[in-house]
A and B are shown apart, each in its own frame.
Chain A
Amino acid sequence: MIDRLFTLDGIGQLLGLPFVQSALLACAVLGLVAGALAPLIVSRGMAFAVHGTAELAFTGGAAALLAGVSVGLGAVAGAVVAGLVFGVLGLRQRERDSVIGVVLAFGLGLGVLLLALYSGRASNKFGLLTGSIVSVDSTNLVVLAVVAALVLGTLAVLYRPLLFASTDPDVALARGVPVRLLSLVFAVLIALTTALAVPIVGAIMVLAVMIAPGAAAARVTANPVLATVLAIAFAELALLGGTVLSLAPGLPVSGYVAAIAFLCYVGCRGVARLRRT
């Protein structure tokens, strides 16, 4: 059992395969974007919103699968709609959480229904929920790169107002930062990134790359820039490490990614505890 879970048999050969290289490239790009957003997501207390967005990306992907159009585009559409709904309906955290709970349950149910109606390959269905690296082909890679550039570019332009609005909203508003507008923009950035992550790590494991790295970094540093750098490093470690480890056993990527992200978080908590004593 353990032998099956942790093996690197023929890893050299596997790493030479084009689809594996595409997958690694996709993971590297995703890690960069998810890690860059993660500390802001943690500052805004939006973990549940990310989870809700991911489930709606799943619904969009399932609808696209049934309709015979690109699953990636379906995921993006579903996630952006979810992000905007969460952004408009619930700016206060308590209200937002109920809105997310309601929309998430509906979206997940709808997605399951859509998948049941789909009569194609079963691996396509399963892939949306748990992710699969074979789903990354060269067209997906182009979409991934374009969306990633868009998210990172927006983040670079809006970084200071976003940080201000995320950590200190009252004073940010007083200083003329458009806090409401930014929370909508940020919801869309999250939605786009989530939609990229869903085909790779699966809808139910998106939190492993979008929350865990930021939460881990926040345990060991309060410096926002350093927290971002660390979160990117953790996200890359989880995604690339998880992908490599999953290759030889031929098991889903997401389990390995989630495990590494979890270990990063536990490790950071441990470091924080040691430092305080």
Chain B
Amino acid sequence: MVLPSPATTSRRPVAAPVLSLRAAAVRFGDRTLWDGLDLDVAPGEFVAVLGPNGSGKTTLIRVLLGLLPLSAGEVRVGGTTPRRGNPTIGYVPQQKALDPDLPLRGRDLVGLGLDGHRLGLGLAGRRQRRTRVDAALAAVGGTGYADAPVGRLSGGEQQRLRVAQALVGDPAVLLCDEPLLSLDLAHQRTVTQLIDARRRSAGTAVLFVTHEINPVLPLVDRVLYLVDGRFRIGPPHEVMTSAVLSELYRTEVDVLRVRDRLVVIGADGSGAHCHGEEPA
């Protein structure tokens, strides 16, 4: 059974890819995380990376950030081999608790995304820096708490600042590593909408690692689903099916469509893993 496409139309890459992997493999000792991975991501494309824990989703991000070399194959980001501190990449991490007394304001967090890797005190060009930070803050609606200590903000406010921090440098590629984890439904929606707006207005390619596809399902052009070294790439309606996931997991997996959401039953070997579960 082929499910009706949840995305309106899947846009195939037409422009030159900003991110590409060719026969890429990562091995740790004799354990192969994935092998023979080919992926091209076009400007403005939204690719969700799904899979159980330990399937190498975060490892893929580390490869693209230049923190981990490939064991085989080729990878290019923004036309070059990945290197540490590539300015064409923005990175949004998981929300995590920050010390409430950390001496850092929202605007400092965003500013560090712009020039935190630079040497020197950065006294020259401070006005221009402030303009860019203010614009990035305004774009995520974070102006109101820009001067508050980051550790005292809510998880949703912190993740908005994270999006601003990732986008302030005007990246061509946005790498998101579970940015919605521990956020409530409303904040999940805000964060995904901010990312979606950016890729539409600036053509930023988005690689979005998540264990939960539903919050991003309407935005996703293609899915990269990784399980135990096996993977499948394609539009959600082609990958998120009982047949494909059963093949990937090598066990019987059912994908049910409930209104505009997908419920996956039987993945992860738990028998009741549910993609549809969302925090109350």
A176 and B102 within 8 A (CB) = no
Bound: A223/B122 CA distance, A:
16
Residues in B neighbouring A173, C-beta threshold 8 A: 67
B112 and A172 within 8 A (CB) = yes
Which residues of chain B (142-158) have a CB below 8 Å from chain A?
147-150
A171 and B84 within 8 A (CB) = no
Bound: A175/B113 CA distance, A:
8
Q: Is A88 an interface residue (CB 8 A)?
A: no
Q: Is A79 an interface residue (CB 8 A)?
A: no
Q: Interface digits, B103-118 against A, CB 8 Å rule (1 contact, 0 not)?
A: 1110011001101111
B103 and A218 within 8 A (CB) = yes
A222 and B117 within 8 A (CB) = no
Residues in B neighbouring A227, C-beta threshold 8 A: 103
A160 and B101 within 8 A (CB) = no
Bound: A158/B117 CA distance, A:
9
Query: Given that A171-B93, A175-B85, A177-B85 are known contacts, is A163 also in contact with B102, CB under 8 Å in the complex?
Result: no
The one of B67, B102, B147 that contacts A174, using a Cβ cutoff of 8 Å: B67
The one of B93, B104, B122, B148 that contacts A170, using a Cβ cutoff of 8 Å: B93
Bound: A271/B192 CA distance, A:
39
Q: Is A39 an interface residue (CB 8 A)?
A: yes
Query: Given that A156-B121, A168-B109, A177-B85 are known contacts, is A161 also in contact with B103, CB under 8 Å in the complex?
Result: no
The one of A159, A171, A176 that contacts B83, using a Cβ cutoff of 8 Å: A176
Q: Interface digits, B53-93 against A, CB 8 Å rule (1 contact, 0 not)?
A: 00000000000011100000000000000011110010101
B117 and A161 within 8 A (CB) = yes
Q: Is B210 an interface residue (CB 8 A)?
A: no
User: Closest approach, in angstroms, between the C-beta of B226 and any C-beta of chain A?
Assistant: 20
Residues in B neighbouring A157, C-beta threshold 8 A: 119-120
Residues in B neighbouring A221, C-beta threshold 8 A: 103
B104 and A224 within 8 A (CB) = yes
> In which size bucket is the chain A interface?
20 to 34
User: Closest approach, in angstroms, between the C-beta of A219 and any C-beta of chain B?
Assistant: 7
Bound: A177/B116 CA distance, A:
8
How many contacts between A and B, using CB within 8 angstroms?
Answer: 101
Q: Interface digits, A162-189 against B, CB 8 Å rule (1 contact, 0 not)?
A: 0110011011111111100000000000
Q: Is A43 an interface residue (CB 8 A)?
A: yes
Q: Is B241 an interface residue (CB 8 A)?
A: no
Residues in A neighbouring B65, C-beta threshold 8 A: 174
Interface size of B in residues (CB-CB distance below 8 Å): 35
Bound: A172/B67 CA distance, A:
12
User: Closest approach, in angstroms, between the C-beta of B96 and any C-beta of chain A?
Assistant: 8
The one of B105, B121, B148, B175 that contacts A160, using a Cβ cutoff of 8 Å: B121
B104 and A167 within 8 A (CB) = yes
Instruction: Across the interface, name the chain B residue whose C-beta is closest to A38.
Output: B103
Q: Is B165 an interface residue (CB 8 A)?
A: yes
The one of A159, A174, A219, A223 that contacts B105, using a Cβ cutoff of 8 Å: A223
B121 and A171 within 8 A (CB) = no
Q: Is A42 an interface residue (CB 8 A)?
A: yes
Q: Is A217 an interface residue (CB 8 A)?
A: yes
B119 and A161 within 8 A (CB) = yes
A177 and B117 within 8 A (CB) = yes
B66 and A176 within 8 A (CB) = yes
Residues in A neighbouring B67, C-beta threshold 8 A: 173-174
Residues in B neighbouring A163, C-beta threshold 8 A: 104, 108, 112, 116
A175 and B91 within 8 A (CB) = yes
B104 and A222 within 8 A (CB) = yes
Instruction: Across the interface, name the chain A residue whose C-beta is closest to B101.
Output: A218
User: Closest approach, in angstroms, between the C-beta of B121 and any C-beta of chain A?
Assistant: 5
Query: Given that A176-B85, A177-B117 are known contacts, is A222 also in contact with B91, CB under 8 Å in the complex?
Result: no
User: Closest approach, in angstroms, between the C-beta of A122 and any C-beta of chain B?
Assistant: 42
User: Closest approach, in angstroms, between the C-beta of A173 and any C-beta of chain B?
Assistant: 7
**Across the A-B interface, the 9 shortest Cβ-Cβ residue pairs:** A176-B85, A164-B116, A176-B84, A222-B149, A174-B91, A227-B103, A218-B103, A164-B112, A167-B104
24 sample A-B contacts, Cβ–Cβ < 8 Å, listed by A number: A42-B101, A42-B103, A160-B112, A160-B116, A160-B118, A163-B104, A164-B112, A167-B104, A167-B108, A171-B113, A171-B162, A171-B165, A174-B65, A175-B113, A176-B83, A176-B86, A176-B117, A214-B103, A219-B101, A222-B103, A222-B149, A222-B150, A223-B103, A223-B108
In the complex, besides A172-B117, A174-B67, A221-B103, 16 extra interface pairs with C-beta distance below 8 angstroms are A42-B101, A43-B104, A160-B115, A163-B108, A168-B109, A171-B112, A173-B67, A175-B85, A176-B83, A176-B86, A177-B85, A217-B103, A218-B102, A222-B108, A222-B148, A224-B104
